Amino acid sequence: MTATDTPVSALQAPGPKGRIVLSIDAMGGDRGPATVVAGMARSARKNTDIEFILHGPRAELEKLVAKRRHLTDRVEIRDASDVVTMDDKPSQVVRHGKQTSMWSALDAVRAGDASVCVSCGNTGALMALSMMRLRKLPGVNRPAIAVLWPSRNPQGFNVMLDVGADIRADENDLLQYALMGSSYARNGLHLERPRVGLLNVGTEEHKGRSELKAAHELIQTASVAANFEFVGFVEGGDIPGNRCDVIVTDGFTGNVALKTGEGTASLIGDLLKEAFKFSPLSRIAALLALTSMRRLKKRIDPRRVNGGVFLGLNGPVVKSHGSADATGVSAAIKLAYQLALSGFQDKIAARVASAVSLAQDAAQRETGTE
Amino acid sequence: MTATDTPVSALQAPGPKGRIVLSIDAMGGDRGPATVVAGMARSARKNTDIEFILHGPRAELEKLVAKRRHLTDRVEIRDASDVVTMDDKPSQVVRHGKQTSMWSALDAVRAGDASVCVSCGNTGALMALSMMRLRKLPGVNRPAIAVLWPSRNPQGFNVMLDVGADIRADENDLLQYALMGSSYARNGLHLERPRVGLLNVGTEEHKGRSELKAAHELIQTASVAANFEFVGFVEGGDIPGNRCDVIVTDGFTGNVALKTGEGTASLIGDLLKEAFKFSPLSRIAALLALTSMRRLKKRIDPRRVNGGVFLGLNGPVVKSHGSADATGVSAAIKLAYQLALSGFQDKIAARVASAVSLAQDAAQRETGTE
């Protein structure tokens, strides 16, 4: 594939010779830049068309990259002396963060040098900086963070958004989330016609907050043109279920649900370990069950689905877990790679733009009939 | 213990000879009255001081009770011909439900004939009817549903409220939930000084919606007089954690979190079963692991903690899962029994009343200084 095969915007342009260029923030993760470079090395081995722009203190990064022979000619290092820490306040980073690796990583996407930005850093700061450096897509009021969630679906995952970009969302925001989430499911999970559900406390249409009732109508109307199936209201139990592929909710509820699900899974995992330590017989059982357990762990391993995606900006940003190890970083890079390869940014921009123009048409028609 | 040993209100009065009388709605559960009576029989065997008032179609119930010899002299049957189904709308039940077993069950508490009402029926209808027949406690604006949640706590459970009585809550409601929830933890989990957390999307004090910031201050102030420890904001991951014993949130968020947690646990359970069916070796492992698995299942078995409690009414109501089997019904009855035995209703009423008078005092002081 060459760059001329697909119509792509400047932001989406693959690098020279049809290569995909990703912008990687080396700093800010709990395990430091060595882990990030190790994750890059894994991804580079699997996908030979990836190139990286790596941001952080040059001397340190040069040493780390030099250790991986197959990386050296595929990484451009951009020097950034400062690091955004987990304790930094977003507002301060936006004001004084120009020298940080995070800022530099976003600016590479802004300049069109890379397609997608990946960072393990402070979520709040990354979102604030992303909004400032990449700007919101025309028609998007609140960007959202989307995650993949282990579920009973054939594809093994649901998309849920927003999980914490903002703490509130009105009916129009929820409509945008439905459009962006279904675009993501189409490009990230390869679902042609994703099923979209709106999170509520009951499935009856009369239930829930007023913005949810309004959003129900808006999303229903948009589903035909946007080519997704709207299944209506869904409940918390459907998040790991098989009723839909995309769960739409505000960032407060989504964040609580995400962390509740993670916490529950982690509690059960620990109780399982305890149960197997109980008696000599159960220890033997644990040994025999090891492969079964590994299979299960792999299925729901959060590292395999590592990466929240910031949607609604001029350029996608993949947020990896702060505690990600090399496997986790590699999973986040793989996700960024897939999004770049599918021309996701152009598709989502087109989808949001068409919804905006549809809404404008509708408004004009209403004015015309008055 | 005789009825004169403890100062109790008419609503709390144990029956003749210091017995605890519970009012049981026999109908409305998915498995019918036979399961309810089977649950009663279990509880009656374990606690010889329980008596029941059982509500439903007399002929059918008489037959079911007659089969259990040890129940016959401990059950009073009150005839009710109608049943509230899972599809009935709360508003209709409130208007036309006078002949239902649910109505009759609540009226036995209202009349002071029983201490606590237990029902497996339609949650929305039960809450609407409870508010109408039992009325709200003075000072309570929105009653709440509290559940016990498997957690890393020494006691094995956290209390969470509201999980769905209402879809919104302002700062004063959240304060009442903190007061009622800590009362419940004291009487239901035997914690002298429960730790209370307020659910939010971050633990920093400046984060979250405005009503949460206001509630943070109110709950902090109330914690001294109400003898609980306020740990501040907690996150979704703390619901199954060990940072607090009582999780305070609005009914929308609480309901989504509850169902997300249940759904996640159920997904993991099914994946675990699948993992063990994978190969002959893993099947053998599964056999050996059977007791370990049973131990784990018992620890997080939702039937063991069956029963949401309606708080903030003139009389506690225990809502059992609609799909509860005899074990589940018996667990709900046990919970009702413990609440009755501890004089919970008087304590919670006193707690709420003292908070109301404190707030009035504060308001008067403010007026005085103007």
In this predicted structure, which of A90-94, B30-34, B153-157, B221-225 has the lowest mean pLDDT?
B153-157
d(CA B93, CA B171): 30
Cβ atoms A96, A85 nearer than 8 A? no
Which strands form A308-311's sheet, in the order they lie side by side? Answer: A75-79, A50-56, A20-25, A116-119, A317-319, A308-311, A144-150, A157-161, A246-248, A195-199, A229-234
Res B87 pLDDT > 60: yes
Q: Which CATH class is domain B141-306?
A: alpha beta
The DSSP-derived string for A293-304 is HHHHHHHH-GGG
List phi, psi (to 5°) of B318: -105, 120
Task: Determine, for residues A295 and B285 on separate chains, whether the beta-carbon distance falls below 8 Å.
Answer: no
Angle between helices A251-276 and B251-276 (to 10 degrees): 40
Q: Cβ contacts (< 8 Å) between A300 and chain B: which residues? A: 268, 271
Q: What type of residue sits at position B345?
A: Q
In chain B, the residue whose alpha carbon lies closest to the alpha carbon of A166 is B208
**From A267, A275, A289, residue closest to B285, measured CB to CB:** A289
- Under a CB-based contact definition with an 8 Å cutoff, are residues A319 and A299 in contact? no
- Chain A residues within an 8 Å CB radius of B267: 150-152, 240-241
ipTM over 0.85: no
Distance between CA atoms of residues A3 and B368, nearest Å = 76
> Does residue A271 sit at the B interface (CB-CB below 8 Å)?
yes
Cβ–Cβ of A256/B236 closer than 8 Å?
yes
Contacts of A247 in chain B (CB under 8 A): none
- Give how far Cα A60 sits from Cα of A63, A64, B154, B314, Å: 5, 7, 46, 67
Q: Choosing among A239, A248, A260, which should be mutated to test the B contact, i.e. which has the most B CBs within 10 A?
A: A260
- Is the pLDDT score of B15 beyond 50? no
| Residue A55: C-alpha distances to residues A22, A130, A236, B99 (Å) | 11, 15, 39, 72
| pLDDT score, position A72 | 86
What is the rounded CA–CA span in Å between residue A321 and residue A87? 15
User: Which chain B residues are within 8 Å of A284, Cβ to Cβ?
Assistant: 288
Residue B40 pLDDT level (bands cut at 50, 70, 90): very high
Beta strands in A57-143 (DSSP E): 75-79, 116-119
Quick one: pLDDT at residue A362?
62
Contact B209 A168 (CB under 8 A): yes
Give the strand order in the sheet containing B229-234: B75-79, B50-56, B20-25, B116-119, B317-319, B308-311, B144-150, B157-161, B246-248, B195-199, B229-234
Rg, chain A, Cα only = 21
Please report residues of B whose CB lies closer than 8 A to that of A208. 167, 252
Residues of chain B neighbouring A265 (CB-CB closer than 8 A): 264, 268
| Residue ranges covered by each domain of chain B | 1-140+312-344, 141-306
Nearby residues of B115 by Cβ (< 8 Å), 6 or more positions away = B11, B12, B13, B14, B20, B21, B22, B109, B315, B316, B336, B339, B340, B345
**Residue whose pair of structure tokens reads 């003898």 in the numeric block:** B227
For residue A368, the model assigns a pLDDT of: 52
**Least Cα separation, residue A251 to chain B (angstroms):** 9
| Cα angle, residue A58 at apex, residues A54 and A61 outer, rounded to 5° | 60
- Residue in chain B closest to A209 (alpha carbons) equals B167
For B220-279, the pLDDT digits (tens) are: 999 988 899 999 999 999 999 999 999 999 999 999 999 998 888 888 888 877 777 766
CATH of A1-138+312-343, one of 3.40.718.10, 3.30.460.80, 3.40.190.10, 1.20.120.50: 3.40.718.10
Per-residue confidence (pLDDT) for residue A7, from 0 to 100: 34
User: Residue B260's closest chain A neighbor by CA?
Assistant: A236
B257–A256 CB contact, under 8 Å: yes
Question: Which residues, 6+ apart, have CB-to-CB distance to B157 below 8 Å?
Answer: B148, B149, B150, B151, B189, B305
Half-sphere exposure of B19 (CA within 13 A, CB side): 18
Query: What are the tens digits of pLDDT across the range B273-323?
Result: 777 776 676 677 666 666 666 766 666 665 566 678 999 999 999 999 888
> How far apart are the CA of A265 and the nearest CA of chain B, in angstroms?
7
- Whether chain A has a CB inside 8 Å of the CB on B86: the answer is no
Average pLDDT for B350-357: 78
At A83, list the tokens: 């690091």
Spell out the per-residue pLDDT of chain A, length 370, in tens.
Answer: 333 333 333 334 444 457 899 999 999 899 999 999 999 999 999 999 999 999 999 999 999 999 998 898 999 999 999 999 989 999 999 999 999 999 999 999 999 999 999 999 998 899 999 999 999 998 899 999 999 888 888 888 899 999 988 888 999 999 999 999 999 999 888 899 999 999 998 766 666 788 999 999 999 999 988 899 999 999 999 999 999 999 999 999 999 999 998 888 888 888 877 777 766 766 776 666 666 667 666 666 655 666 789 999 999 999 998 888 999 999 999 999 999 988 888 888 888 887 777 666 666 665 554 3
Query: Minimal Cα–Cα distance from B313 to chain A, Å?
Result: 22
First to last CA, chain A: 52
Under 8 Å CB pairs connecting chains A and B tally to: 185
Residue length, chain B? 370
Q: Which segments within B109-174 are labelled E, that is strand?
A: 116-119, 144-150, 157-161
Inter-chain CB proximity B255 and A236 less than 8 Å: yes
Question: Around Cβ A89, how many Cβ atoms within 10 Å?
Answer: 14
- Residue B363 reports pLDDT greater than 80: no
Nearest chain B CA: its distance from A240 CA (Å): 6
- pLDDT given for residue A8 in this prediction: 34
What part of A 284-323 touches B (C-beta under 8 Å)? 284-286, 288-289, 291-293, 295-296, 299-300
Q: Find the helix or strand (DSSP H, E) in which A358 lies.
A: helix A344-369
CA B354-B167-B332 angle, to 5 degrees, is 70
Contacts 24+ apart (CB under 8 A), A288-294: A288/B281, A288/B282, A288/B284, A288/B285, A288/B288, A288/B289, A289/B276, A289/B282, A289/B285, A289/B286, A289/B288, A289/B289, A291/B278, A291/B279, A291/B281, A291/B282, A292/B275, A292/B276, A292/B278, A292/B279, A292/B282, A292/B285, A292/B286, A293/B275
CATH number of B1-140+312-344: 3.40.718.10
Contacts with B232 (C-beta within 8 Å, 6 or more apart), sequence order: B197, B198, B203, B205, B216, B220
Nearest to A257 among B236, B241, B278 (CB): B236
Q: Hey, are the CB atoms on A252 and B257 less than 8 Å from each other? A: no
